[in-house]
Each structure stands twice: as structure tokens, then as C-alpha cells.
Structure 1
Amino acid sequence: MRRRDFIGLISGVSLVPVYGRSAWGATAGPRIQRYGMSRHSSVTELVFDTTAPVMNASCFTLSNPPRLIIDLPGIAPPLPDTSALASGPITRVRSGVKGNGLRLVLDLQHDVKASLRAQPSGKVIVTLDGSAAARAAGQRVSSARPAIIAIDPGHGGKDPGAVSHDGAHEKLVAFSIAQQLFGLLQKNAAFKPRLIRTGDYFVPLHERILAASDVGAHMFISVHADAAPVSSAKGASVYILSEHGSSSAMARWMADSENSADQYASLRESALHRDDPRLSSMLLEMSMQGTIAASQNLGKLMLPELSHATALHQRHVNQAAFAVLKSPEIPSILVENGFMSNRDDCRRLVTSEHQRALAEALYNSVQSYFKRYPLPA
């Protein structure tokens, strides 16, 4: 899904009409009809005048690079009729459809403290405070406790994973995407990424869970690019654990396919190590309901980000009994970034450019999740 530069922000206090039809049609629904910007010292105020009140409007900031995200549910995007914006803290504005509404992404020169208020009249006012005190306060909050992200490149070593018609291996695609995601997270002081495997070797599924637990991970992301029984299947999907069966036949097939990786392990490796008190106590004594709910929240944030990098195979979070997701204390998700069995998907999956785009989508999802659900102090 393409993001379009469509909205112009004009400096000054007056509101400026936006001309152009909605991408959903002239009468598709509420839209932005005027907008404006004013600046006072280090504070910038954006005003969006919509044709109807906006319910549940929200905003949040991201760092490295600094960005401001504005979500306007129920608002249809106009066609691009923009003026280049290069004033104040804002360097560029991008947009995209998010659910049934509009998401604006503002690239910034530096971090800001942002707030949003929506008025019954239809005005949405976003305030950006770029003062040193506000920026320092935001940095103190964001750097209080880094989140540890366990990144699990699927398969490896004697387990190639899915193999394409021309011999490309899933294990190599998954490792490349995982490495790119690791690099992005490593540049952000808010995160401490950890790779479950750092080379082309096999790790049994239960050892991947324990490795994430051993490093104290706050999130577990298993990276894959699978195959399907039919070559027409394409696009990305996200999966979380289900305790009560799969959400679809395809989800069940995927879980069976991924869980079969332990056929490469010895009997000693594939057993759930009943003599390991950590694993047995986790599986027997801890409830997974809270973890599954957190994983569901992560999946809902991840799908829109992936849709900007690739087509989606399914637009909802799937559930299945993936062995690698059975950590009772770590929100865990398995990402199928496309299908090795589909020629178009595979042709892109093996390119570094597409791998980078997928890694950025996963990175944005992780940032959004911890902005919305910060770690406790």
C-alpha cells in the first residue's frame, strides 16, 4: 500500500482550504476541509478543520528518526494537492489509510513533546513543543528502561524451511530480514535486540523459547517466509498462539509446517526437558491469557505497517498452536513475510531492498507497541 504526500500545512494562523476530491469519492465520508499552522517560539500548533467530529483521534511520537504520528479514524484522505513544507520542526508529511481512517506521518527535525485535542466542532488541534525542557522530559521517559526484543530467524542449518521453485531457502530470507531488524533496533537506545541464532545453524524450537526467557525478553518476534499448498497464496500474515485451536485451516497448516522443524532435532533435543524446572514450571503453572492478549495487540499494530511494505495474505491476526510461540510471559508473534511458493513474492523476498522494507515495518510496529504499552518503571 502506497503512502501519499497529500496534505499541505501553511505557516500562519489562518486556516487554508484544501481542494481536491477524496480518494474514496466526494461523498465517501468526513474529510479535512481546512488546515493551518501557527508557531510561537518553540511551540508549533497544527489545526485540522474536518467536516464532522473526529472520534478517538490520537497522536504519538517516534524517535530515531524523530516522527509524529496522527491517527484520524473515520476521516477520508483527499487526493494529493500539497505544498512543500519546510518550516519549523516539520520536514515532510506523508499519509496512508489506516483502518477506516487516515494516518499522517510527520518527519521532524528533532524530538518534540506532542499532544492532541479534538473538539466537538470538528477541529483537531495538535501541539508540538520543541523546547529543550520538553524534549529532555520525553527523553527521560523513553530511556528509563530499554525493552529487550528477541528476534528469532526461522529455521537454520540442516532445516532449510520452505524452498522455492528455483532453490531459494526460507532460512536465508528469514535471517536477512532478522539481521536488518536487529540493526534498526540497535540504533535506538529504547531497545536491546537479541538474535536467537546469529548464523546458519539449527536451534530446536523449545530452545528458542528458553533463549528468549534467559535474556529477559519483553517481546519475541519469529521471522519466516513460508510456502503453501497452492502457489497462488501470497502476501504477509501474522500469527499468535492459540490455546484452543487454529483460526483457519491455513493457520493450522502453517503451524503444522513450522512445528515440523523439530524433526531435525534429536530425541534428547526435541523433548520438553521435563527435568528442566524453568520450562516445566512455566508450562504448568503460569497462565498465558495476558500474554496472548498482548500478542494480539502487537499483531493489530503490525498488520497496517506490513501493508505499506507488501500485500497482506490476511488482514486479521491469525491464531494457531505454534510451538515457538509458547512462552507464557513474553508477548510473542510469528510473521510470515510472504510465500516462497509464490513466484512474485519470492522474487521480492530475496532482494535486500524488500527485506529492508519488511524490517522497517516490523521496527515501526515494535516502536508503536511500546509507545502505546510502555514498560512499567
Structure 2
Amino acid sequence: MVKIVKIVLDAGHGLNTPGKSSPDGEREWEFNSQVVQACAAKLATYGNVQVLRVDDLTGKTDVPLRERTDRANRWNANVYVAVHHNANTGKWGVWTGVETYVMNSPAVSPKSLELARLVGPRIAEAMGLKDRGVKRANFHVLRETKMPAILTEGGFMDSKIDIQTLRSKERLKAQGEALAEALAVYFKLQ
């Protein structure tokens, strides 16, 4: 019997979530959603994969985190991937880079760490940005999921450096495809 790999994608936040924008007002969800769409499209080229998106596809509703993780858990997903884009101060600066988060716990799944180490360098390369490495945090989507889970930060929305890349549809597509390719390596997808 062929095993189906179930991948949850979460384009974090909603269009109108307060504080989730660049200093010029570009909404984080729009960056996140483009990455998730590209990732899902690339994953569709592999066999034996199902994708569940747990955010609102229109971005109009900021789906509560509990609802997102409960759906993933009920679906018995094999992995949870939350896609985000960072902010430092909310004012333009010169910080830069990509980060990949796992749960801040001694009991963090080794599978989460393995996936994070596959994903970070690939999305950094796709974005043409520095890889700031694997970080740990006590985020709801990492803590309340019953499967390996990671959260990506694909660049800083308030960075004069990173915003140039975030404004490129080609780079966001490349980030999503790099994420899908890392998942394909992790799950040995054909």
C-alpha cells in the first residue's frame, strides 16, 4: 500500500492582522501566501502527497491558531509548515536574513530539527539572503501540533535589503519551490 504524505501549509496571519506589514504598508500575508501557493503547486508535481492549507485562502480572516493546529492534528498530518516574513523594529533598517524555527523545548522532535536544517539554507539561497540558522521559540503552531513542525521567516519586511527581494514575485515563487524541494528530500518524494 502506498503511503500518502500529508503536509499542512500555513500562510500565517491575515491581510489585516495589526502590525504585520512593511513600513510601506505591504501586508505580510501577501508575501506568505505567494510562497505557500508556489510550494503547494510544486508539491502537486510529486506523487502521493496531499496538502492542507489551514489559513484563510483569501486572507480576509485571521484564522485562530488553535483552529489551525486542531485541523492539522485531526487530519493526522505528517508535517506542519508555517510560512512567515519577519520584522525587527517596524522601521526601515539593514538587518537581513532567513530564519527557521522549531519548538523551544528539550523534547523538540528531532524530525523538526532535521527538516528545519534542510529548509533554511534552501530558502535563503532562493531569496539570495543570509541564512541566520535554526532558532527555537515557543510559538503556538510549534507547541500544539502533534507532528514535526517548523516556522519559516523568509526575510525581514522592515529591511531595506530584504524588502527588495520580497517585492519580487519570482523570488517568492523560488522560496516556495525551495520549501517544496526540501520537503521532497525529507519525505523522499518521487
The question of a shared fold, defined as TM-score above 0.5 by the shorter chain, is answered with: yes
Alignment-mate amino acid for residue 224 of structure 1: H
Is 1:241 the counterpart of 2:103 in the alignment? yes
CA contact (8 A) 1:147 1:192 kept: yes
- SS of match in other structure, 1:202: coil
Match of 1:361 in 2: 178
CA distance in 2 between counterparts of 1:236 and 1:195 reads: 22
Measured after TM superposition, the shift of residue 160 of structure 1 is 5.0
Is 1:305 the counterpart of 2:122 in the alignment? yes
Measured after TM superposition, the shift of residue 161 of structure 1 is 5.0
Q: Out of 10, 17, 29, which is 1:171 matched to?
A: 29
CA distance in 1 between counterparts of 2:187 and 2:181 reads: 10
Match of 2:156 in 1: 339
Q: Out of 38, 48, 51, which is 1:193 matched to?
A: 51
Measured after TM superposition, the shift of residue 357 of structure 1 is 0.8
Q: Give 1:213-228 correspondences, 5 Å limit.
A: 213-228=73-88
Measured after TM superposition, the shift of residue 212 of structure 1 is 1.0
**How far does the alpha carbon of each residue in 1:220-250 deviate from its partner, in whole angstroms, 9 at most, with x for none?**
0000012002722111110001136xxxxxx
User: What RMSD over aligned residues (CA atoms) do the two structures have, in Å?
Assistant: 1.9
Q: Which runs of 5+ in 2 are unaligned?
A: none
TM-score, with length taken from structure 2: 0.89
CA distance in 2 between counterparts of 1:222 and 1:208 reads: 10
CA distance in 1 between counterparts of 2:46 and 2:111 reads: 22
Q: Give 1:74-89 correspondences, 5 Å limit.
A: none
- SS of match in other structure, 2:118: helix
Measured after TM superposition, the shift of residue 340 of structure 1 is 0.3
Which structure has the larger Rg? Answer: 1
Q: Which runs of 4+ in 1 moved over 3 A?
A: none
Q: Out of 73, 87, 94, which is 1:232 matched to?
A: 94
CA contact (8 A) 2:94 2:161 kept: no
Q: Which runs of 5+ in 1 are unaligned?
A: 1-142, 245-288
Alignment-mate amino acid for residue 199 of structure 1: T
> Measured at CA, do residues 209 and 328 of structure 1 come closer, stay the same or move farther in structure 2, by a change above 3 Å?
closer
CA distance in 1 between counterparts of 2:161 and 2:167 reads: 11
Measured after TM superposition, the shift of residue 328 of structure 1 is 4.8
Match of 1:210 in 2: 70
**How far does the alpha carbon of each residue in 1:322-358 deviate from its partner, in whole angstroms, 9 at most, with x for none?**
1121135210000000000012311221321011110
CA distance in 1 between counterparts of 2:75 and 2:187 reads: 18
Match of 1:117 in 2: none
CA contact (8 A) 1:240 1:317 kept: yes
Alignment-mate amino acid for residue 140 of structure 2: A
Match of 1:183 in 2: 41
Alignment-mate amino acid for residue 236 of structure 1: V
CA contact (8 A) 1:161 1:170 kept: no
Measured after TM superposition, the shift of residue 188 of structure 1 is 1.6
Q: Which has the higher strand share?
A: 1
Instruction: Specify which structure has the bigger relative contact order, considering alpha-carbon pairs within 8 angstroms and separated by 6 or more residues.
Output: 2
Count matched residues.
184
> Measured at CA, do residues 326 and 296 of structure 1 come closer, stay the same or move farther in structure 2, by a change above 3 Å?
same
TM-score, with length taken from structure 1: 0.46
CA contact (8 A) 2:80 2:145 kept: no
Alignment-mate amino acid for residue 211 of structure 1: R
Identity between Structure 1 and Structure 2 (%): 28
CA contact (8 A) 2:95 2:161 kept: no
CA contact (8 A) 1:154 1:161 kept: no
CA distance in 1 between counterparts of 2:75 and 2:110 reads: 22
